[in-house]
Amino acid sequence: MKLLIWDFDGTLAHRPSMWSGTLLHVLGEVHPGHQVKPEHLRPWLQTGFRWHAPEDEYPVLPAHAWWGELHPVFEQAYQAAGLDATVARRLAGEVQRHYTDPQHWEVYPDTGTTLEHLSVLGWRHVILTNHVPEFRELLKALGLSGHFLQVFNSAETGFEKPHPRAFRLVLESLGEAKQVCMIGDNIRADVQGARAVGLPAVLVRKNDPAAQWQCTDLSSLPGQLDAIFAD
């Protein structure tokens, strides 16, 4: 078997403005004329998520408890933007519903065609993502679940990339594969995380001199894989 391990956010699909955009969307429903900008919120969203401390192992929690860990983060961001504590607490409770709504997500135009083309070339696909507990439902709603043999989501395993155990769970679950490569847009979580367990990786949709293999879109990925496994 030839196996590609795919990241999700920023690689196959994305939610515009991600977390700051979600918080602004929630706020806009309540206060449509607000003057809060993404830059008012982003500094307060740089810590507090599990993937900000990927060296730890986390308990696997039901969705309400997983999101409950983040409510203080959202509340703090709202308060820093000038909202009072009561409003901030109420809005924080709405973030889950908005973030997991598939209508706010966009699949990149080259995602489906690339997955299909690589499948024809003999590659099989799995997802390894740092994501929310509802990720499987989101993947299905976006019409992508049929491409993947398995999904490995940090909210279900307790290990955030680039933790080595996150990658090893994939390898242990799927057994022997002749060729394995990680595909993702994050130099630390995807590329360096894969390297740490001896896997090659391709950085996609970004340029970074620290990545040996990279492509700005998925159309050139088959050529990159040919070069990686030329021997």
> How do residues 151-204 score in pLDDT, each as one tens digit?
999 999 999 999 999 999 999 998 878 899 999 999 999 999 999 999 999 999
User: Under the phi-then-psi rule, with left for phi > 0, alpha for psi from -120 to 50, and beta for the rest, what region is 202?
Assistant: beta
State the pTM of this model.
Answer: 0.96
Per-residue model confidence (pLDDT) at position 100: 97
Pick out the chain residues at pLDDT < 70. Answer: 231
Comparing CA positions, the residue from 115, 147, 104, 97 lying closest to residue 18 is: 104
Is 3.30.2270.10 the CATH number for 2-14+106-228?
Answer: no
User: What does the alpha-carbon distance between residue 219 and residue 217 come to, in Å, rounded to a whole number?
Assistant: 6
Note if the bond before 162 is cis, omega within 30 degrees: yes
> Where do the domains of the chain lie?
2-14+106-228, 18-103
* pLDDT for residue 231: 65
Asked if 155 and 133 count as a contact pair (C-beta separation under 8 A), the reply is yes
Which helix (DSSP H) or strand (DSSP E) does residue 120 occupy?
helix 111-120
